[in-house]
A and B are shown apart, each in its own frame.
Chain A
Amino acid sequence: MRNIWTIAKREFNQYFVSPAAYVVAFVFLLILGIIFYGQLGGTVVYGGSPQVVQWVFGPFVTLVLFLTPGVTMRLLAEEQRSGTMELLLTAPLREWELVIGKWLAAFAFMAVVIFLTSIYFLITNAFTTPGLDRGTILAAYVGFLFMCAAMLAIGVFTSSLFVNQIAAFFATMGVSLALWLVGFLFQQETGVVADIVNYIDLSGHFYNNFYTGVIDLSDIVYFVSITALFLFLTTRTIESRRWR
């Protein structure tokens, strides 16, 4: 268990060694800021109640589809490319500790970026009476974190399949986008297959509930399951590689 912390701590610090993390965080906040500013201005001019959750999380969710692959692409692919994996696998470290540690680092980094968006809510709150509904905002944040956890787990998994970071990036993006869009295929249909596909669809679990300020246990179960499944698959991938 302590090893998870050791791995996660090193990996988390690595994000801040290169300027890439700062650049990415800055660009994201800038884009979100522009959209937010436009929406806020419109509300001020034309009236209406501020829909901050939608203003922020609407565009953010799209950006995150591109951000998570970038956050996870290095995690295992680079260890495999540079050969440092050999030292990790000959240390008294279990595969699942390594995998969870890596994922945890990515999640912590993501949480920092997500946390920074709270500035938009604080700003709007200052201009609104009687203030924003805290419950709705909190629900959106919780949901968003769970969703990111699942997408990062997918990224950790694809990173374990490659030695090339760029390949890992695009594979993660492909899998995430597919999961995100798969619901479109069966939007109008009913039946068992459609139900299953709609359950697997990532976006539905976000838009239908968290986005509107509702926490549904079934969505949390879904995101936790996806996370667990992909982290398990990653562990098995690394284990099986020893036997080749």
Chain B
Amino acid sequence: MIEVNALTKRYGQRTAIQDLTFHANKGEIVGFLGPNGAGKTTTMRILTGYMPPSEGQGRVAGFDLLTESFQVRKRVGYLPENVPLYPEMTVIQYLDFVAELRQISGRQDRVDEVMEQVRIDHRAESYIGNLSKGLRQRVGLGQALLHKPEVLIMDEPMDGFDPQEQIEVKKLIREIGQAQTVMLSTHILAHAQELCDRVIIIAAGRIVAEDTPERLSAQIAGGGRIHLQVDGDSHGLAEALGQMPGIVAVQPAGKDGRFDIETAPGVDGRAKIAQAVVNGGWSLLELHRDKATLEQIFIELTKNDNGEAPAQPGAAA
């Protein structure tokens, strides 16, 4: 369980995150989504007890981040960004070292178990420095799982995996997420959409949106693109539709009578378009609205009013 309140972290003059308040429940996978420099790693480092926040407080796995950091660290598993490991140790040596550090009883069995779970057992005797990026990522994941953490925090866990491996790792994360609290960061929206029960979008150190992936999509469903296709002759259709209120633009899309229609924000317009098409004597084949992907929401939310990329957090402070 994670619960933080008004977390702020400054590096010197630069404010990396500001006033973050969020929570993650047991059995929930929460995604932390944001562009480069948004403050994802900073937040995760605070949650794992690596460094204290400049302001604000929080509890992780039932213990206070500031005053009971040691207890927090006992209960949290952490996969840092870029997976720092010791290249001159073998996989099994390294995992055994971490298990010893975490004072796990029945160390050897547990190490074997985890190596199987993250599917690195076939390379147990390999030096970590000789492993591919994806395999190293597995070792990092194994290291985070050894002590059966109540809270698992992963900074860009999908990084370095090929698509086939990603499927397996997602399955593994979902499994873990059933009983434990999982928080992961990513800038790949599809991963968050697929994996997470809830997504927190962060940009320039602030939370800009927080909801289930589905509801986030619905949030900007009004205003968007409609696809239309008519059968046979479509002469004059674009012009006719372009006259209608609430329609911003009508563009032919391909040869076989397809059109992309842009509507004003908050206007659905499908019913009126259908009516106009039929009344005008064209034969309607298809009419549907794009569901906004997280991608669109993301771009929408993380740009400021001028439509530019978000300002640097330091400059805003």
Report which A residues bind B (CB closer than 8 A).
2-3, 6-7, 10, 14, 17-18, 82-87, 89-94, 242-244
Contact = CB atoms under 8 A, between A and B. Distances in A.
Across the A-B interface, the 4 shortest Cβ-Cβ residue pairs: A83-B84, A90-B48, A92-B74, A84-B84
Contacts, number: 59
B84 A90 contact: no
Contacts of A18: 88
A93 B51 contact: no
A82 B84 contact: yes
B88 A17 contact: yes
A89 B74 contact: no
B272 interface: no
A63 B143 CA distance: 40
Contact of B52 (A7, A91, A94, A242): A242
A84 B70 contact: no
A92 B102 CA distance: 7
20 contacts: A3-B101, A6-B97, A6-B101, A7-B101, A10-B89, A82-B86, A83-B80, A84-B86, A86-B45, A86-B78, A87-B84, A87-B98, A90-B49, A90-B78, A90-B80, A91-B73, A92-B102, A92-B103, A243-B51, A244-B51
Contact of A89 (B50, B85, B98): B50
B101 A14 contact: no
Size band of the B side of the interface?
20 to 34
A242 B102 CA distance: 21
A86 B100 CA distance: 17
Interface string B68-83: 0010011010101010
Nearest to B80: A86
Nearest to B49: A90
Q: Is the contact region of chain A dominated by helix, strand, or loop, or is it mixed?
A: helix
A84 B94 CA distance: 12
A109 to B, nearest CB: 16
B7 to A, nearest CB: 15
Contacts of A93: 101
B101 A84 contact: no
B123 to A, nearest CB: 18
A17 B143 CA distance: 22
B52 A90 contact: no
Contact of A90 (B50, B89, B103): B50
Residue from B45, B49, B86, B88 whose CB has the most chain A CB atoms within 10 Å: B86
Contacts of A90: 48-50, 73, 76, 78, 80
A197 B51 CA distance: 39
Contact of B82 (A3, A83, A94): A83
Contacts of B52: 242-243
Nearest to B70: A92
B88 A14 contact: yes
A25 B190 CA distance: 55
A242 B101 contact: no
Given A84-B86, A242-B51, A91 B98 contact: yes
Contacts of A244: 11-12, 51
Contact of A87 (B51, B80, B89, B103): B80
Contacts of A86: 45, 50, 78, 80, 84
Given A83-B82, A86-B50, A86-B80, A91 B11 contact: no
Contacts of B76: 90
B11, B48, B73, B101 interface centre (most CB from chain A within 10 Å): B101
Nearest to A17: B88
A91 B50 contact: no
Nearest to B75: A92
Nearest to B10: A244
Given A6-B97, A244-B11, A92 B73 contact: yes
